[in-house]
Structure 1
Amino acid sequence: MAESEMFNKGLAVRRDVLGTEYVDGSLAKADDFMMAFQRITTEWCWGYAWTRDGLNRRERSMLNLAMLTALNRPAEIKLHVKGAITNGLSVDEIKEILLHATVYCGIPAGLDAFKAAHEVLKAEGKLS
């Protein structure tokens, strides 16, 4: 199936934020079943939402970290902490976002978010 213009726009943003190696690896591993998900997330999330005017990538990363904390999705938080770093967020800003989300989402969700972020920040050499 030929990819849409929205897919191609999304693919470029997705690669910029999450890294070409990660994104291309996800696409390469996708069979026909999983490729349906790869298409929808690349087209809708990265092509439609992330390319809109109104918020920049940095602000979108902030929102993602807060929403993923609310949803208690540590695996996605890890991925988006790396993206947040790419988009210019500092360790202190990431910490403040997670603290703010913890107040509204609860200690268990906040703890999972902090653990996930801490793991990534250490691996990326952002924490000693």
Structure 2
Amino acid sequence: MPTDQERVDQGMAVRRAVLSDAHVDRALASTTELTADWQDFITRVAWGDIWSRPGLDRRSRSIAVLSSLIAHGHQEELAMHLRAALRNGLTTDEIREVILQSAIYSGVPAANTAFRIASEVFAQDAPA
């Protein structure tokens, strides 16, 4: 079994690779006494334990995360994970298909919101 520190180190490496150094640096810079345990938990457990497992590649994990966020209406995290999905190798065409698929199982309003957020993200991140 890896130590907690090894899990944090692995989690931080994966978190930075998936979300970007800039995003993780902003999250860590805004850590407070209230949120410090939360930052440790998500780094160690979500990124060090789950995202680091060998059973799915990062592209597949991104598809699962996008689907879950859309289904549960977690729009506040969707933009971040749309960017992560692109970093993990999904194309905008594949992301479109994930959103369309989600419309069937999660509802048209959820997909409509996801398309709006994706359009904003892709417009912001488009090369100048």
Paired AA for residue 7 in structure 1: V
Please give the alpha-carbon distance, in whole angstroms, between the structure 2 residues aligned to 1:90 and 1:19: 17
TM-score (norm 1): 0.92
Residue 97 (structure 2) pairs with residue 108 (structure 1): no
Find the counterpart in structure 2 of residue 58 from structure 1: 59
Equivalent pairs, count: 125
Please give the alpha-carbon distance, in whole angstroms, between the structure 2 residues aligned to 1:10 and 1:78: 21
Q: Which runs of 5+ in 1 are unaligned?
A: none
Find the counterpart in structure 2 of residue 85 from structure 1: 86
Paired AA for residue 21 in structure 1: A
Q: Secondary structure at the match of 2:34?
A: helix
Please give the residue correspondences for 1:1-128 in structure 2 after superposition, counting only pairs within 5 Å: 4-125=5-126
Could you list the structure 1 runs, at least 4 aligned residues long, displaced by more than 6 angstroms after superposition.
none
Please give the alpha-carbon distance, in whole angstroms, between the structure 2 residues aligned to 1:118 and 1:45: 27
Please give the alpha-carbon distance, in whole angstroms, between the structure 1 residues aligned to 2:76 and 2:122: 14
Give the drift of 1:116: 1.1
Identity %: 38
CA deviation profile, 1:76-96 (whole Å, cap 9, x unmatched): 110000000001100000000
Paired AA for residue 67 in structure 2: A
Please give the alpha-carbon distance, in whole angstroms, between the structure 2 residues aligned to 1:53 and 1:77: 24
Q: Secondary structure at the match of 2:56?
A: coil
Please give the alpha-carbon distance, in whole angstroms, between the structure 1 residues aligned to 2:46 and 2:116: 25
Q: Secondary structure at the match of 1:85?
A: helix
Please give the alpha-carbon distance, in whole angstroms, between the structure 2 residues aligned to 1:25 and 1:12: 15
The Cα RMSD (Å) is 1.5
Paired AA for residue 80 in structure 2: L
Paired AA for residue 15 in structure 1: R
